[in-house]
Amino acid sequence: MVVDMHVSSGEIIGALGSVVGGIIGALGSAAAVFIMLRAQRNDETSKVSDAVLSEVVELCKSPIGQLNACMQIQLGHLHSPISALKDLFRAPAPIVFPAIASMISRLPSSTLVVTFYMQLQETPGLITTIENAFPADALVTGAHIQMVADLLISQCQLARLILGKARETPDNEMTLATRQRAHMLRVLDGQLAAAQEVFPNAESFLDQQLPIGISRFEVSTVHSD
């Protein structure tokens, strides 16, 4: 069999064009898949972030109420035995955070979010320490709850920063969530201001004692928004 080795320049150009076209087509398909996956990832991250923010709104109600109880004890308006502290400082367990812990690094303000949830877990342990250190029938005084109040102030500060950094959600379905965040920010501002009057020397109000990664300038900026 004889193979014709004479190939015209037009045929060569046509062949090269087919190869280049195939490469461009493959790259285009890969880019389309990448863009689609990135969009799905961003959408998933947005939904998870909204779910975490909604849970933060609900969970921060506990430290707000508990901080108010500490203030009432400090002012002498609330009289409670040591044995009742566990019920007084009871809080619901997080549901969303444990379910999305593997994705937490994708979320905005992920360090603040993790710190907030971890500090929530510290409250029961601190209450147990107080219960074990004093007689069950002894009345709780301001001296007993200083460290608890400081921890709760820190939790409220973290919740304030997390919600203050949240993006606006123009979607009509998220309007209620946005309003809830705005309302909770006002509540947090009021409670922190009141707590600073009652516990002016709480370490969480001092620059060097703010949660990791948070500066006094950042707190001032968020409060001025």
Least confident of 5-9, 34-38, 66-70, 166-170: 34-38
Predicted local distance difference test score (pLDDT) of residue 220: 42
> Distance of CA 28 to CAs 13, 19, 38, 151, 216, Å?
22, 14, 15, 54, 48
Q: Spell out the domain ranges in the chain.
A: 50-224
Helix axes 61-74, 9-59, angle to 10 degrees: 30
C-alpha to C-alpha distance for 123 and 140, rounded to whole angstroms: 16
Q: What is the pLDDT of residues 190-207, one digit of tens each?
A: 999 999 999 999 999 885
Which amino acid would we find at residue 90?
A: R
Percentage of the chain with pLDDT > 70? 69
Q: What is the pLDDT of residues 9-25, one digit of tens each?
A: 555 555 555 655 555 55
The count of other CB atoms within 10 Å of the CB of residue 57 is: 20
pTM over 0.75: no
